[in-house]
Amino acid sequence: MKSMLNMLIVMTLSLAAPVAVDAHPHSWIDLSVRLEVDDKGRLLALEQAWRLDPFYSLVLLEDLAAEPDGMNVALDRLRGDMLRTLAPQGFFTEAEVDGQALSFKGVAEATVMNSNDRIVLHFRLPLRKPITLAGHLLSYRVYDPTYYIEVVHEAEDDGSTPLPNALVVPDRLNCEHEIVKATPDPEKVAEASRLDIDETGDPRLGRFFAETGRVDCR
């Protein structure tokens, strides 16, 4: 299955395919995550913001600007297209507490905007059932399974230091948190480098390159 941006550009927006390069990934998303908790310290949702890379943002914005109903209407349509495309893929998100996978409900709250010439998708991914974090370890990954798109947390320009908004945990939880960089096996790196723009490899290739957010409340 094509990943979100490629499907949106090729199928939904009827644009030409992006310029081919020699290896996956072909674009990236800058990610920020905020934990939403209730007054009992239970996790309710993962609020996420995805900033599409400058090139894809430019392509989308140029196309949206041609919409006769105006930019705001066009952005709202794009929001609907993104949600319909991402819903079957679980919004690229997997999470677990103490090794037990969490289950999420559908996204009902989302916006798409143009922020400094970058398309940004904001959405709230709610859990099916709130879960207590005190005494437990939460971890999550957000990644495109095909690795057509690379998802990385918001970071300094050199990519080495996450920005404060990359992972926001309420102070009242009294938890430690960190973002762990991926350390893919060299064979997986070689596999990704061999994939052309129209090829797909292991359907879970992206997981090997995914950063991990960890919130330790033990």
Is residue 200 over pLDDT 80? no
Q: Give the ranges where 24-165 is alpha helix by DSSP (H).
A: 54-65, 71-86
Residue 188, pLDDT score:
80
Answer whether 166's CB lies under 8 Å from 181's CB. Answer: no
143: burial class by Cβ within 10 Å (0-12, 13-18, 19+)?
A: buried
pLDDT in tens, 105-153: 999 999 999 999 999 999 999 999 999 999 999 999 999 998 888 999 9
Chain Cα centroid distance, residue 75? 18
Rounded Cα distance between 148 and 37, Å, is: 32
pTM of the prediction?
0.86
pLDDT in tens, 49-87: 999 999 989 989 998 998 899 999 999 999 999 999 999
Pair of tokens at residue 69: 């109903």
The identity of residue 127, as a single letter, is L
Answer whether 15's CB lies under 8 Å from 56's CB. Answer: no
Mean pLDDT computed over 188-195? 80
Rounded Cα distance between 36 and 170, Å, is: 8
Provide the pLDDT confidence category of residue 212 given band limits of 50, 70 and 90: very high
Domain ranges of the chain: 24-55+92-216
Residue 61, pLDDT score:
93
Token look-up 């430690």 returns: 176
